[in-house]
Structure 1
Amino acid sequence: MRVHVALLMTAVLAAGCAGGPSSTTDESTPPLPTPAAATPSTGAFSPTDIAWLQLTAAMTQRLIPVLDLVPTQTTDPTWHGLAARVQASNRADLARSHDLLGEAGAPTTNPHEGHDMPGMITADELAALRSTTGKAFQRLLATHLRAHLAQAVKIAAAEQRAGVHPDTTALAAAVIRAGDGDLARLDQLDRPPATPRPT
């Protein structure tokens, strides 16, 4: 699997599994479910396609517990709305990734379990978010969400360039569109207040 991740990352950026398993793992990370039956698509899957599907699924699994915290850690309805939007699109993408992995005959287990990679929320970062509320939580959330979205867009662009399976590259295009939109919304929401002009 590390070879497949390297193929994907070499196509775009030098990243992948950062070292070995992390010393801490988050037990609340949802397990990979068995893929649902999917309508078969045309074309064969390349190692890059499978590596991207597995990596993007692993990243999303780390993000969802963070988004689950938003309703209890902040009362700001704009952050609630953004989190709900990001979570809905990511859950849909995760389900589609699982469908495609099932179609490819790839393992349903998470090959990145316990690995901390760019864009992934670590167990320590999740713990910090759980112990923070209000504006401090929003600032931390913005940092981690921006890192996740930027990395998700970056590796999806790699899949678009190097992938061969049409439905997988189409999913990558959808991830890019949603990620770019969410990054723009995040920038609007997390913009520092304007400095009053001197009178």
Structure 2
Amino acid sequence: GVRCALVRGGQVADHVLVQAGSAWHLLATADAQAAPQALALDAALAWTAAQVAAAPGVPVDAAQDARTLQAAVVAPQMAGALGDVFRRTLQYANERQQFGRPIGKFQAIQHQLAVMSEHVFAARMAAQLGCNGAGVLPDRLRVATAKARCSEAALAVAEFAHAIHGAIGFTAEYDLQLFTRRLHAWRQTAGSESYWHGVAGKALLAHGGLTLDLVRRITDVEMAL
């Protein structure tokens, strides 16, 4: 059989696209043996060998396209969540008083906020590029750039946000943890930055011309906006 230890959104999904060996199958969640995971909508799902054999197969190209489409959707979600985390952290730094003044007046906090803003706006631009394509489907290499950059930003921004908030950021009553927990989940959804770095690396090795020409094609702002 097949067991998926962590399926994002597995509690509410109707089907899951699963790779078993070299083949891909579309498996119904209603047939799976389910166990809860840390986040409310996630689940661990398991199917028997007979269920996998009976499930419809999916061509490898179609499976890759599905992952690309999923990453193209998740990257803008991450960019939006990153922006919200930054705004909440900036507001907290300006309101939280320590030693008679807002903690945002301290140079160490200002440095952390500056680095956060760099990641947030880089991720936003990358997500915009990832949603661009010549036709209905997004460009796979642009999506690779978008998802990799947003996943990289998720780690840094969540780390700085909780460092600035301190213990209150982890409490159930405070909304920050709702965003950062989801960012950590989305970071791995449809492939983490390592997976999409590999996609970009293969494209770069296969490119016959100048590396700069490929970079320009991926990051052409006039086409993407």
TM-score, normalised to structure 2, is: 0.35
Instruction: Give the number of the structure whose alpha-carbon radius of gyration is greater.
Output: 2
